[in-house]
Amino acid sequence: MMVKKVLHSLTLNGEEVQVATAAGATLLQTLREDLRILSSKRGCNQGVCGACTVLVDGTPVRACLTLTARCEGHAVQTMEGMDGDRVMATLQRHMVQSGGVQCGFCTGGVLISARDLLEADPTPSREAVKTALSGNICRCTGYRTIVDAVCGAAEELSQ
């Protein structure tokens, strides 16, 4: 098995990049192995845990299920490119304060899902938050402090 590399062009965190990646690589593989973008985590590689969540054209996707070839010409955004995003900054601050960050392995994916929720629904109910986060597994917190953080951020942002 000679690994064939293929060249792809995409926008990564606002910059045009060209990347040579294994044919058939997932976005998770390309981000981590070829671009050293490490905030997206391999928790299951099967689309279940949500630890690899990133934005493609502004929509959360599972990087482990997304082929890099499908991102040709599209905009990929990861936690590394979230500086200056007001909603994300607010969520991050609330997560730190609430104790919603324990081991942190799920945290990036959780925050990207939560940010997407707040973009669509700035004043979500607790139930809506839980539904929006139901694709992000956290084994540490029991979710309570994460839901608190998202609700707290929503409240602050909607003031």
Partner 1 sequence: MSLDQPEPIFVGGTVGQSVAKTDSLEKVQGRAEYIADLYRPGMLHGAILASPHAHARIRGYDLSEAMQAPGVVAIITGDDVGEGRMGAFIKDEHAIAKGKVLYVGEPVAAVAARTEEEARHACRLIKVDYEELPAVLSPEEGLARDAPILHEHLAEYIKVFDAGSDGNLCSRTELSEGDVDAAWADCDVIVEGEYTTQPQAHVSMEPCGALAEVDAAGRVTLWSANQSVFRVQANVCESLGLPMSRLRSLTPRVGAGFGNKMEPHIQPITVALAMKAMRPVKLILSREEDFEMVRARHPYRVRMKTGAKSDGTLVARECEVLVECGAFADDSPGVMGYSLLMCGGPYRIPHMKASGKLVYTNKLRFGAFRGFGNPQVLFAGEQQIDQIGEKLGLDPFTIRRRNLLRRGDQWFVGPRIGSNGLGRCLDAVEQAAKGARADGSPRNFGLAVTAHISGLLGTGAIVRMLEDGTISLNTGATDIGQGSDTVLAQICAEELKLPFDQVAVASPDTDGSPYNWGTTASRVTYTTGRAVKAAAKKVVDQAMDHAAEILDCDVADLELREGGRIGRHGSNTDVTFAQISGRAHWAAGGPLVGSETLVFDEPTHDPKRAIALGLPFPRIGVFSFAALGVDVDVDDTSGQVSVHEAWSAADVGRAINPRLVEVQLHGGFVQGLGYSLYEEMVWDGARLANPSLMDYKVPTARDVPDAIHTFIIEDPDPTGPFGAKGAGEIGLNAAPGAIANAVARATGARHAHLPLTGERVLAGMLDPGALQD
- DSSP sequence for the chain: ----EEEEEEEETTEEEEEEEETT-BHHHIIIIIT---SS--S-SSSSS-TTEEEETTEEEETTTSBGGGGTT-EEE-GGG-TT-HHHHHHHHHHHHHT--SS-TTHHHHHHHHHHHHHH-SS--HHHHHHHTTTS--SSS-SHHHHHHHHHHHHHHT-
CB 82 to partner 1: min, Å: 8
CB 155 to ligand FES: min, Å: 22
147 binds ligand FES (CB under 6 A): no
CB 142 to partner 1: min, Å: 3
Q: What is the contact surface with partner 1 in residues (CB under 8 A)?
A: 1-3, 22, 32-33, 36, 38-46, 48-49, 51, 78-80, 91-92, 95-99, 101-108, 111, 126, 129-131, 133-148
Please give the residue ranges that form the binding site for ligand FES (CB under 6 A): 42-45, 47-52, 62, 64, 102-107, 138-141
